[in-house]
Amino acid sequence: MQLLIKTFHGLEAVLAEEVKDLGGKNIELLRRAVSCEGDLKFLYMANHHLRTALKVLLPIEHFNARNEVELYNKTKQINWSKYLQLNQTFAIDPVVFSKTFTHSQYVGLKVKDAIVDQFRDKTGRRPDVDTQFPEVSINVHVSNNQVNISLDSSGESLHKRGYRRTGHPAPLNECLAAGMLLLAGWEPSIPLIDPMCGTGTILIEAAMMAAKIPPGVNRRKYLFMNWKDFDRDLWMSVVRSAKQSVEAPTVSIIGGDIDSQSIDLAKMGSLDFGLGRLIKLERIAFKSHLPKTKEGLLIFNPPYGERLREKDLNAMYQEIGDHLKANYNGFDAWILSSNTEAMKHIGLRPSQKLTLYNGPLECKFQQFNVYEGSLKKKEKGN
């Protein structure tokens, strides 16, 4: 079967590698998505294992629609009884980029009308709509006049692992954190530090990778479980196999943050997943955080400026650069920030610049190689 797996901008390549490692075939990189082929077992595994995936969609129809009448008629021609039972609730998830169809909710309404009218014409009854907790979710993607209709096999976004606690003003998305680790080339053998860890998302994702714990380990519900062809035995075999692959690795994963509440939330999240022994957390200011190994990898997400004045923010980023050059010789540092002006004050030349999105914010994910003499070079240039 053909599958469409959604992700964030900038993570398409690492998602494609995940899909390949999991056994996907004929992989194609798309905008914020990866297309591939796989059987029913692969669909189950994709939902359970992929760390940078947001949704796994099963395309069922595509066509051109020049207006709302064509959209309605061509949607109604699909045999919806193959995908939806009369006693099931459903919802439409419309995504629209079109000059013809300018309102996504109106597209969703026309598709919904076509489906319920087909059932009413055939049976005299219609399935109910439930926008909050549907048993079947139908994704409608419109690009100009091209309409693609898919079944959502995932339901709730796959980034929701289950360890996130409320109470932090700027949490990092779990899929984005996993993608950052993969883009940075982190492996469990490499000491990892997040000196501004917040609630510990990057660290928890790293520990789950190291222990080979699937991101869906605590998830109990996917929408594919409501499909007619759901194979419970096959699904349980996927879950059992994943549990048998879990390891107890020896790793160095260290996090620090100046905010005590964030550290408490990070500890609770790591303990919920049994990762407490893999992650060392400490309430500590960045300028006091010193490495415990001779080399390794730093990945962190400093404040962007929402609550800081420009002058203070630039000074903070300069302090980051000075601290790295003075104390982290031999390390690679990857920093995510939406404030490109403040990033210039780090005082190191980035070896890589990648564009990612943290929510609606366009960010640069930059790699800095910290070598001996970096500080001297800067002082010589002054």
> Same structural domain for residues 118 and 209?
no
Residue 339 lies in a domain: yes
Looking at residue 277, which CATH number applies to its domain?
3.40.50.150
* Angstrom distance (rounded) from CA 36 to CA 79: 24
> Same structural domain for residues 97 and 207?
no
Looking at residue 35, which CATH number applies to its domain?
3.30.2130.30
> Same structural domain for residues 114 and 206?
no
> Same structural domain for residues 127 and 42?
yes
> Same structural domain for residues 136 and 185?
no
On whether the CB atoms of residues 208 and 277 are closer than 8 A, the answer is no
Q: Would you state the pLDDT for residue 133?
A: 94
> Same structural domain for residues 118 and 262?
no
Closest C-alpha among 213, 274, 268 to residue 244: 213
Residue 233 lies in a domain: no
Q: Would you state the pLDDT for residue 2?
A: 96
Q: Would you state the pLDDT for residue 376?
A: 41
Residue 158 lies in a domain: no
Domain boundary among 152, 184, 199: 152
> Same structural domain for residues 272 and 353?
yes
Residue 165 lies in a domain: no
Closest C-alpha among 194, 161, 167 to residue 265: 167
Residue 239 lies in a domain: no
Q: Would you state the pLDDT for residue 304?
A: 73
pLDDT of the chain, 382 residues: tens digit per residue: 999 999 999 999 999 999 999 999 999 999 999 999 999 999 999 999 999 999 999 999 999 999 999 999 999 999 999 999 999 999 999 999 988 898 899 999 999 999 999 999 999 999 999 999 999 999 999 999 999 999 999 999 999 998 876 656 667 999 999 999 999 999 999 999 999 999 999 999 999 999 999 999 999 999 999 999 999 999 999 999 999 999 999 999 999 999 999 999 999 989 988 898 999 999 999 999 999 999 999 999 998 765 567 778 889 999 999 999 999 999 999 999 999 899 999 999 999 999 999 888 899 999 999 975 444 443 434 4
HEC per residue, the chain:
CEEEEECCCCCHHHHHHHHHHHCCEEEEEECCEEEEECCHHHHHHHHHHCCCCCEEEEEEEEEECCCHHHHHHHHHCCCHHHCCCCCCCEEEEEEEECCCCCCHHHHHHHHHHHHHHHHHHHHCCCCCECCCCCCEEEEEEEECCEEEEEEECCCCCCCCCCCCCCCCCCCCCHHHHHHHHHHCCCCCCCCEEECCCCCCHHHHHHHHHHCCCCCCCCCCCCHHHHCCCCCHHHHHHHHHHHHHCCCCCCCCEEEEECCHHHHHHHHHHHHHCCCCCCEEEEECCHHHCCCCCCCEEEEECCCCCCCCCHHHHHHHHHHHHHHHHHHCCCEEEEEEECCHHHHHHHCCCCCEEEEEEECCEEEEEEEEECCCCHHHHHHHHC
Q: Would you state the pLDDT for residue 166?
A: 67
Q: Would you state the pLDDT for residue 40?
A: 97
Domain limits at 366? 174-213+246-381
Residue 376 lies in a domain: yes
Domain boundary among 102, 119, 152: 152
> Same structural domain for residues 271 and 324?
yes
* Angstrom distance (rounded) from CA 17 to CA 39: 18
Residue position matching structure tokens 């190689």: 369
* Angstrom distance (rounded) from CA 112 to CA 96: 15
Q: How many domains does the chain have?
A: 2
> Same structural domain for residues 102 and 190?
no
Residue 163 lies in a domain: no
> Same structural domain for residues 140 and 277?
no
Residue 99 lies in a domain: yes
Q: Would you state the pLDDT for residue 380?
A: 38
> Same structural domain for residues 257 and 113?
no
193 pairs with which residues across the strands? 254, 298
> Same structural domain for residues 55 and 198?
no
